[in-house]
A = this chain, B = another copy of it.
Amino acid sequence: MDRLALVLEAILLTAAKPLSLEQLESFFSSEEAVTRPQLRAALKVLADNCVGRSFELKETASGYRLQTREQYSTWVLKHHIEKPAKYSRTLLEILALIAWRQPITRAEIEEVRGVAVNGAVIKTLLEREWIRVLGHKEVPGRPEMLGTTRQFLDYFQLKSLDDLPSLMEVRDVDLATLVVEAPSD
C-alpha cells in the first residue's frame, strides 16, 4: 500500500461517519498537494488491500467508510450482549413466595411482605416466563392466582416443586454455605 492509501486507511478507521472526497481532501495541507485523482487512486489501492481482511471499503451516499464484512456479524453482534443487571431482592422475594406458596394472589403476597407489589416486577416475571396466571380466585374482584412455570423449574434445574427445600429447611439452612459469590465484574 502506498503512503496516501495508508493515511486514508488511518483517517477512515478513526472516522465517526462516512467521509466524502471533499472531506478527505481537507485532511491534507496545501503543501501536501493531494489532488482528487490521487485521492481516488489511493482509495482504489485501499479497497484492493481490504481483500482478504475482515473489512471492506464502502462508498455510501455520504461518502467512504470502512466497514466490517457481513460474514463476521455473528461475532461482532456479541459486543451488544451486555452483562445483564442483577434482579432486585424484591423480585426474588416475590418469586420465592410464588414458588413456595403457589397459587398465590397479589393481595396475599402483599400481606406477607407488608408492602404493595410493584406491577413491573410481576410483569418481568411473566415476561421471563417464570410465573404464570394459574386462574382466578373466586373472591370479590376475582384476583389472579400466580404460580411458577416449567421454565422456572428448568431454569433452577429442579425436576419438580418437590425439589424445592421445605419452608422449615429454608428457614434453618445455612445459606452462607450455599450462596456462591458472584464474580465481580
Q: Which residues of A contact B (CB under 8 A)?
A: 1, 6-7, 9-11, 13-16, 26-28, 52-55, 68-69, 72, 75-76, 78-79
- Copies of this chain: 2
A16–B55 contact, CB under 8 A?
no
A53–B7 contact, CB under 8 A?
no
Asked, given contacts A68-B13, A68-B14, whether A6 binds B79 with beta carbons under 8 Å apart, the answer is: no
Q: Give the residue of B16, B27, B72 whose beta carbon is less than 8 angstroms from that of A75.
A: B27
A16–B79 contact, CB under 8 A?
yes
Q: How far is the CA of A111 from the CA of B78 in the complex (A)?
A: 49
**Residues of B contacting A27 with CB < 8 Å?**
75, 78
A124 to chain B, nearest CB (A): 24
**Residues of B contacting A13 with CB < 8 Å?**
13, 54-55, 68
**Residues of B contacting A76 with CB < 8 Å?**
10-11, 14
Most buried by B among A27, A28, A69: A27
**Residues of B contacting A10 with CB < 8 Å?**
54-55, 68-69, 72, 75-76
